[in-house]
């Protein structure tokens, strides 16, 4: 991870360890199962609670809106991560993964947002209708390289960063950090846009949003460079079958190890309970995550999963 930025091969981004290799023979039946699941009855998602309008403005606080979307308050700034408020994580309204639980805070109930981070271009992380609505409210978007055109296509303002680059906004500095994943919104644009995680660093707090990622040496490098992360939001779902998913998604046990690697004081699980993306039962990631955290010697107040709509102070 000593490179100054993300590597490219023939004009397309690749991970620090090189191109991802996944089990191709299992991919077609997996996609058929996913297509079928998008048209059958909606699965039972994470528990929804009534959001606390006053609580989510506490400084610092974090509110889980669902999937990888958090409303974060820290050091006097308010920001959103990977905002997806649409019914489906899909380019079309009639197919693709459908929400199992509504957003924990409706778009119209959000407070003013200073900025938004986007981790990569997949539909469950970059939803253009949500981007459009937030752009109309004046939010600035901080995105990995080559993602600016997506934001600008719906009227937003984007600031592009490469891995290990940063920018100051208001009271915080936003650092683009590596992830191990991939990109593409169609059959022809794989690898054309970068994927990343984000460290938001303020005078009193550091918040890390891992985006989408498999387990990789970059976690230890992030921990080494920043010294301490006060709260790390790390994905714990979308890991089955492991032959396909393991290179690009963490399982709950790997998520706990990643939290230890980045030297997180607290870790909050995400990327589960909202969209049925893979084969594991939707209720499995949280209990495996908490079990793994206990096994690693982490106290209960260090490893969190929230209800959708829940706010917690940190």
10-residue mean pLDDT profile of the chain (314 residues): values are 77 92 71 70 86 96 98 98 96 86 98 98 98 98 98 98 98 98 96 98 98 98 97 98 94 98 98 95 96 97 98 98
Q: Two tokens at 58?
A: 């506490």
C-alpha–C-alpha distance, residues 127 and 154, integer Å: 11
Write down the pLDDT at residue 95.
77
Write down the pLDDT at residue 28.
73
Write down the pLDDT at residue 36.
65
Compute CA distances 111 → 39, 72, 173, 244, 253, whole Å.
34, 11, 21, 39, 34
CB atoms within 10 A of CB 260: 17
Q: Please state the length of the chain.
A: 314
Given a contact cutoff of 8 angstroms between Cβ atoms, the answer to whether 227 and 263 are in contact is: yes
C-alpha–C-alpha distance, residues 235 and 67, integer Å: 9
The pTM of the full predicted model, rounded to 2 decimals, is 0.95
């Amino acid at each position: 991870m000593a490179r100054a930025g993300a590597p490219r091969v023939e004009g397309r981004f690749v991970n620090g360890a090189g191109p991802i290799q996944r089990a191709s023979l299992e991919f077609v039946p997996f996609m058929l199962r996913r297509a079928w699941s998008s048209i059958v009855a909606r699965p039972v998602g994470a528990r929804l609670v009534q959001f606390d309008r006053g609580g989510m403005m506490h400084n610092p606080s974090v509110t889980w809106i669902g999937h990888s979307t958090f409303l974060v308050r820290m050091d006097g700034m308010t920001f959103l991560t990977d905002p997806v408020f649409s019914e489906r994580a899909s380019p079309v309204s009639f197919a693709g993964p459908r929400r199992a639980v509504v957003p924990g805070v409706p778009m119209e109930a959000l407070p003013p947002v200073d900025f938004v981070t986007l981790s990569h271009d997949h539909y469950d992380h970059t939803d253009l209708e949500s981007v459009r609505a937030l752009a109309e409210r004046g939010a600035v978007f901080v995105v990995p390289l080559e993602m600016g055109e997506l934001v600008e296509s719906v009227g937003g303002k984007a600031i592009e960063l490469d891995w290990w680059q940063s920018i100051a906004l208001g009271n915080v500095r936003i650092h683009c950090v590596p992830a191990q994943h991939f990109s593409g919104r169609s059959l022809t644009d794989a690898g054309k846009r970068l994927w990343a995680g984000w460290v938001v660093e303020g005078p009193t707090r550091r918040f890390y949003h891992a985006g989408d990622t498999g387990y990789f040496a970059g976690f230890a490098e992030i921990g080494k460079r920043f010294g301490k992360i006060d709260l790390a939001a790390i994905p714990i779902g979308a890991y089955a079958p492991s032959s396909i998913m393991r290179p690009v998604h963490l399982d709950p046990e790997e998520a706990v190890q990643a939290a230890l690697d980045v030297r997180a004081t607290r870790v909050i699980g995400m990327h589960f309970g909202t969209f049925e993306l893979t084969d594991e039962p939707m209720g499995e990631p949280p209990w495996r995550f908490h079990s793994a955290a206990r096994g690693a010697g982490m106290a209960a107040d260090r490893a969190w999963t929230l209800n959708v709509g829940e706010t917690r102070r940190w």
